[in-house]
Structure 1
Amino acid sequence: MEFLHIVVLAIVQGLTEFLPVSSSAHLVLVPVVLGWPDQGLAFDVALHVGTLTAVLWYFRRDLANMTVAWFASVTGKGTTIDAKLAWAVLLGTIPIGLAGLLLKGLVETQLRSPVVLAFGMIVFGLLLGWVDWRHRGTRTEREMRPRDVLFIACAQVLAIIPGTSRSGITLTAGMMAGLTRQAAARFSFLLSIPVIVLAGGVEGLELARSAVPIDWHAIGWGIVISAVTAYLCIRAFLALLARTGLLPFVIYRVLLGIVLLAVFLT
């Protein structure tokens, strides 16, 4: 891969993985719009490793506390708030994991269309805007009830529809459940950890079975650039939520969806 391609795609992945704008849509669209060849499965795996590294580092203290508390709860030493949050992340991943396995063929064939992607960007973007406008949530991610976790987990399944955005739909569901914007975003980021691990693991297995040579230069730079970009994105996004809300992302999603419809339906 050319170095410019590596840098642009890694930055796109780092920015869009955690913003409510659909990272998969942008990774598909950028090469098409710029006339670049497909980046390949190995590079996709590298980008997942990069964004995973970023979210693990950002939440390292929370994850350490959650891990200790989770093991304590398993061994019968009591269930703390951190343990409940750890269980929420683990159990909240089950629906999307099952949906991914059962519907993988449908997503890769019938749903993989620019028109579906465009409608996903618009419809779920408007839903995000409506929830943000009506938002009155006051609770943190550590104050979630089991039904809140179930609701967010089921909503995350909709992320298999192209253009939905995993972070966008979980953020929407979190606010609908009564969480603050920042709390919904933090739980969305924590939920991304097992999802990225699962997605990267599936791609990694496919890569291991293939005989395609690996460009380690591209892999290395892709991991580093996507990790740094994603880490900065997480910090900036959480700070931005307190000041401006989600309207800029809603406008961007709707405009991009309209442009896609104009291009692919004419």
Structure 2
Amino acid sequence: MSWPQVVVLSVLQGLTEFLPVSSSGHLAIASRVFFDDDAGASFTAVSQLGTEAAVLLYFAKDIGRILKAWFNGLFVAAHRSADYWLGWWVIIGTLPIGIIGLLFKDQIRTGARNLWLVATALIVFSVVIAAAEYYGRQTRRVEQLTWRDSVIVGLAQCLALVPGVSRSGATISAGLFLGMDRELAARFGFLLAIPAVFASGLFSLPDAFEPVSEGMSATGPQLLVSVLIAFVVGFAAVAWFLRFLVRHSMYWFVGYRVVLGTVVLILLGTGVVAAT
């Protein structure tokens, strides 16, 4: 990989990871449009370590409170608060993507990054996000979450294994369909992503140096800079996005997804950009 490619893709990763627009889809598109080659799923997974570190920092107080409540509740039933159960819901909700990610890791690194699929997913899943925004009651609070909610949102997170869907778009949409308010759906989805993304990034680290199938190789310094850039940009992005969700709907992102997906389909159809 070239240094310009590392910088551009890392900034893009930080900007789009938390928005319902698919960071992996954006990296696949930008790689082909601007650099005529795909950086690969492994580089994307490693750069996500930076954005998840940003989530850890941003939610540090919440995570600390949840961990404390979870450990206290394990031994004293009277201490089992909403934070205690939230700890369990995060654990349970993480299991589906861990299992499915391992089972289909080869397909995720190769065929799933076809730009025809990415562009189609951007457009089609826009309908899901719009429907969730329209039909979601947004009346449920964190105290009302159950293990069924964590399983459903966890299964929705698995859809993000397809570039173009969006992890936050899938989890927030699932939360809205379940009646959560928009900010709770986003926060719960971000917490669910932490263990999954860190595991994926660390698992993909060796392949980012020397890809065994699709993708480009990156040096140690390039990967380190990528993580740092994604961390700084990602921290600003998550802070902005959560404030945005308090006052605005996700319809703004629906329109953007449809436009981007349509443009990519036109570029593919006219032969300007290669699908793989």
TM-score normalised according to structure 1 size: 0.90
Query: For each residue in 1:229-261, what CA deviation from the matched residue of structure 2 results, as whole angstroms up to 9, or x when unmatched?
Result: 111111111111122211111001111111122
Which residue pairs with 2:267 in the alignment? 263
Which residue pairs with 1:5 in the alignment? 5
Q: Kindly report which structure 2 residues correspond to 1:64-213, keeping only aligned pairs within 5 A, or say none.
A: 64-77=64-77, 78-206=79-207
Q: Which moved more, 1:77-86 or 1:26-35?
A: 77-86
Which residue pairs with 1:242 in the alignment? 246
Query: For each residue in 1:4-56, what CA deviation from the matched residue of structure 2 results, as whole angstroms up to 9, or x when unmatched?
Result: 33332111101111111111111111121112555467754551221121000
Q: Could you say if the C-alpha distance between residues 42 and 131 of structure 1 is closer, same or farther in structure 2, counting changes exceeding 3 Å?
A: closer
Q: Distance in 1 between matches of 2:121 and 2:204?
A: 24
Please state how far the C-alpha of 1:196 moved relative to its aligned partner. 0.8
Q: Distance in 2 between matches of 1:124 and 1:9?
A: 23
| Aligned residue pair count | 266
Query: For each residue in 1:166-202, what CA deviation from the matched residue of structure 2 results, as whole angstroms up to 9, or x when unmatched?
Result: 1111010000001111111111111110111121122
Amino acid at match of 2:255: I
Q: CA RMSD in A?
A: 2.4
Q: Distance in 1 between matches of 2:41 and 2:120?
A: 26
**Secondary structure in 1 matching 2:62:** helix
Q: Which moved more, 1:4-13 or 1:191-200?
A: 4-13
**Secondary structure in 1 matching 2:104:** helix
Which residue pairs with 2:223 in the alignment? 219
Q: Could you say if the C-alpha distance between residues 178 and 202 of structure 1 is closer, same or farther in structure 2, counting changes exceeding 3 Å?
A: same
Q: Could you say if the C-alpha distance between residues 214 and 148 of structure 1 is closer, same or farther in structure 2, counting changes exceeding 3 Å?
A: closer
1:229 equivalent among 233, 238, 253: 233
**Secondary structure in 2 matching 1:250:** helix
Query: For each residue in 1:85-139, what CA deviation from the matched residue of structure 2 results, as whole angstroms up to 9, or x when unmatched?
Result: 1111111010111111112233344433211111111111111012112332122
**Secondary structure in 1 matching 2:237:** helix
Amino acid at match of 1:129: A
Which residue pairs with 1:17 in the alignment? 17
Conserved 8 A contact 1:138-1:180 = yes
Conserved 8 A contact 1:42-1:219 = no
Q: Distance in 1 between matches of 2:204 and 2:108?
A: 15
Q: Structure 2: which 5+ residue stretches go unaligned?
A: 271-276
